[in-house]
Amino acid sequence: MIRTFCLATTAAALTFLSAPISAQDAGGDKADAKEQVDYIANSTSRRLSGTFGGARMAYTATVAETVLKNEDDEPAAAIVVTSYVAEPNDTARPVTFLFNGGPGSGSVWLQMGAFGPKRVAIPSDARDDGAPPYPILDNPDSLLDVTDLVFIDPVGTGFSHLIGKTEGSDYWGVTKDARSVAEVIRKWLSDNGRWNSPKFLGGESYGTTRSAAVVDQLEGAYNDVALNGVILISTVLDFGAGAETEGAELSYITTLPSMAATAHYHGKAGAGATSVAQFVEEARRFAIGPYASFLLKGQTATVEERTAIRGELARFTGLSESYLDQADLRVSSGRFYKELLRDRGMTIGRLDSRYTGVDYDKAGETPDNDPSFYGIDGGYNAAINHFMRDTLGYKTDEDYVAIGNVGPWDWSLEGGRDRNAYLTVAPYLGRALRENSGLRIFVGQGWYDFATPFFAAEYALTRTGIPQDRIEWHYYDAGHMMYVRDEDRQALSRDIRDFIRAR
């Protein structure tokens, strides 16, 4: 049984000190009164113990607000950071900063599903998580045996929030968000005396986009914070590669291998393949070769080329040739979710296409909802609130935002019109690799992920200017959040543990 006791708890408070200043010069002018705002950050700590990676250890869990100020030196936002630091405190230990994506997602998924000292147990075989109570278990797959862990909830996610009259637009954007997260990391390093510790940065989904942008903020200037590694889980760096919009052809190429993997999983294709990896490799070669050539030709492709491509598309996707003809041999992800198992009266998931759902009816071309999201969200939301509020004793009136509305999001990057005409943050990682010889990148992808398809990640990270010798790839038999499958959570933990140790 784990014993807990409170070290310190400070309740959050806002104190508005109205200090009107009355002054009159010879001409009778009065100075404007200025409202001063004082903000007391909220925090709590607990000393706990557990067994991680086979090692029994004590650690301190701290939930604390990091207060960011505006250009007038006034409190503008409180970003909540949850830290797990091994005892005794060792500055030679690595520290890993982690966040999820969205961009409106809290860190609940990585914290309570993969790497935190506790995890919520939901079905591992792509079944719905049902209703509470949900088991909240010790997590032997936590990375605490090899690194201290710092989970960051950006503004508008988790318990993090704006202060006073601050506008969300001050923080909601690719670059704005990255600047605030980088500031939190710098503050944490200073407050904890960890500037010379080995440092890793990790994100999932849009969190990988954030990782690349934060790397640019940390290492892109001479007062940089050098990193030892970047951990990318379910990667999205190149938004052009996945843009499903009229006139764009690249997304059909980058999603085809995911369609092949999914059709294979559901018994619709690849019957003769020895493994999903083998069938996926065949789909990769077809997608980047004959299919890409056909798409680039557009309406100038011949009837013979069209016939050959249609047959191969049917073989890889499990869809009928008549349906493929109706879609002009270009099947969007949403249509695929609805069509693949239409004959069984089921749809498939976007985040994890192993999951199936039942819509209002069998008609229509896209699903009512994503069964791979509503199949897990209840358990995670219950777990993070119970753990933070009851186990760790964090007191707040804020609602925990697992997935929230942080918009409109500013997608612009510094660099002018051409830079923003094709949105990709992969070059940030390329520059970091070229200018930091000790930096390495870990990439973890699920076969059954349509939110961030693995072939799109491969495309983004094999462009010119990105050194390939310090990027390592790992693939898992689940989807976007591969750690919901027990075997893949264990494998992911082993792979990242090895990545950190190999520094």
Average pLDDT across each block of 10 residues of the chain; the chain has 503 residues. List them in order.
35 33 36 55 95 97 97 95 96 97 96 96 88 94 98 97 95 96 98 97 98 96 93 96 90 98 97 95 98 97 97 98 97 97 97 96 92 90 95 95 92 79 94 97 98 98 97 98 96 98 89
Quick one: pLDDT at residue 279?
Answer: 98
CB 191 within 8 A of CB 66: no
Distance CA 114, CA 118 (A): 9
Which among 440, 465, 434 is positioned nearest to 220, based on CA atoms?
Answer: 434
Task: Please give the distance of CA 103 from its chain centroid, rounded to a whole number.
Answer: 8
Half-sphere exposure of 290 (CA within 13 A, CB side): 16
**What's the residue count for the chain?**
503
Position 295, amino acid? L
Position 158, amino acid? G
Rounded to 10 degrees, what is the CA torsion of 381, 486, 448, 116?
50
pLDDT for 344-402, tens place per residue?
A: 999 999 999 999 999 999 999 999 999 998 888 899 999 999 999 999 999 999 999 99
Backbone angles phi, psi at 302, to 5 degrees: -80, 165
Which residues are bridge partners to 63 per DSSP? 44, 82
CATH 3.30.572.10 given to domain 38-240+376-501? no
User: DSSP string of 225-289?
Assistant: ---SEEEEEEE--BSSTT---TT--HHHHHHHHHHHHHHHHTTSS-TT-SSHHHHHHHHHHHIII
* Helix or strand (DSSP H, E) at 79: strand 75-87
Quick one: pLDDT at residue 30?
Answer: 36
User: DSSP string of 436-488?
Assistant: -TT-EEEEEEETT-SSS-HHHHHHHTTSTT--STTEEEEEESS-TTGGGSHHH
CB 498 within 8 A of CB 488: no
Question: b/e per residue, 403-442, with b = 16+ CB within 10 A?
Answer: bbebeebeeebeeeeeeeeebbbbbbbbbbbeebeebbbb
Strands 347-348 and 471-476: unpaired
Distance CA 60, CA 86 (A): 6
Domain ranges, ordered by start, for the chain? 38-240+376-501, 250-372
Quick one: pLDDT at residue 37?
Answer: 58
Quick one: pLDDT at residue 7?
Answer: 35
> DSSP letter at 77?
E
> DSSP letter at 195?
T
Ordered alpha helix ranges (H), 81-237: 108-110, 174-192, 206-219
Which residues are bridge partners to 77 per DSSP? 68, 162
Quick one: pLDDT at residue 108?
Answer: 96
What pTM did the predictor assign? 0.91
